[in-house]
Amino acid sequence: MSKEVILTGIRANNDLTIGNYFGAIMPIIDMAVHRSNDYQVNLFVPDMHSFTTPIDHSKLQSQIMHNLRKFTAAGLPLDITDVHIYRQSHISAHSELTWILDCFTGVGEMNRMTQFKDKASKLSDDRVSVGLFNYPVLMASDILLYGASYVPVGEDQTQHLEFTRDIAERMNIRFGELFTVPKPVKEQHEFFGNDQGLRIKDLMDPNKKMSKSDDSDKGVIFLGDSPDEAAKKVMGATTDSLGSIRYDWNNQPGITNLLQILALLTHRSQAEVNNEWEGKERYGDLKSAVAEATTRFLNDLQAKLAQVDDNAILAKLESSQAAMRDIAGQTLLKVQKAVGLR
């Protein structure tokens, strides 16, 4: 029997953030390192998703390579056969399946996607692309082509995962067993050992998520930030005037975000970090602890980045892409036959 598939993608629209790192990169690398005997693990760059909102296209190629280097520096093993890295645009089945699924997707369904509404509201009407609207369908194709059961993503992608399950079930009911339906989101969280999807908040505005595509980067820690620069961002984080540290997303989102980041950076449980800090009054001490942990984390990652071998990445891309073209092509053919194209 073939192995179950764990799969995720990270766009290359900008440098990666600690949100991407802890929300998606680390969970999948952890699986690649510890569970590739039992699972096939796919980490890919959805390069065609990278310009659903406007970017500087002259930088896309180098950004893709930067991201692949970061995956490697973060510990992605390139020498394991069942671990794959690839670029979406190099496997044409992603676009082809998207068109077919588009024709079974309702406009109303896409209109309800909160990420679309959120991103569209920040752009003038003539810059809101059909690609942004259609983003979840391409994402569903990315997942369904490989029959993925588990998809580690941050909390902001939950609705897109639910849509992927919906369209897979809809197609299966209509045409017979075409797709593996990804596991329900709750089961996915259990599989990755969480009670919910992760959402690291912006340091300046802790009511919104830390995002690599924001205009202002003052509240965003990028993996390529100099450790000093990142520490300054932490020290400037927005908190509150309550004067007592408590893990409480509703009333103290800034402080709670710092506690969350500290737990992630120091590999401790949230409960342990909360125990150490709750009830203390000096916000500056908490910020210093987070700044120090951030500095250590970035120094370590950036030292590893300097050691990465580009040739090893390029060789792995070639072999993974050849293998993935095969798998994706088989799924696509099944769908093409089902809808009467073949």
Interface residues toward ligand TYM, by CB under 6 A: 7-11, 19-20, 23-24, 46, 49, 139, 142-143, 151, 153-154, 156-157, 160, 198-200, 209-211
Strand order through the sheet with 39-45: 83-87, 39-45, 4-9, 148-150
Q: Which of 209, 233, 287, 316 is catalytic?
A: 209
Question: Whole-number minimum distance, CB 55 to ligand TYM, in Å?
Answer: 12
Question: Whole-number minimum distance, CB 165 to ligand TYM, in Å?
Answer: 12
Question: Whole-number minimum distance, CB 154 to ligand TYM, in Å?
Answer: 2
Q: What is the DSSP letter of 235?
A: H
Nearer to ligand TYM, 139 or 291 (CB): 139
Nearer to ligand TYM, 1 or 130 (CB): 130
Q: Which residue has the tokens 């919906």?
A: 166
3-state secondary structure of 89: helix
Q: Does the annotation count 208 as an active-site position?
A: no
Q: What tokens does 100 get?
A: 């077919």
Cβ-Cβ contacts under 8 Å for 244 (sequence gap 6 or more): 279, 280, 281
Q: Does the annotation count 119 as an active-site position?
A: yes
Nearer to ligand TYM, 74 or 79 (CB): 74
CA torsion sign for 253, 254, 258, 259 is negative
Question: Whole-number minimum distance, CB 71 to ligand TYM, in Å?
Answer: 12
Q: Does the annotation count 70 as an active-site position?
A: no
What whole-number distance in Å separates Cα of residue 49 and Cα of residue 89? 9
Q: Which of 201, 212, 233, 316 is catalytic?
A: 212
3-state secondary structure of 262: helix
Nearer to ligand TYM, 11 or 70 (CB): 11
Catalytic residues: 119, 209, 212
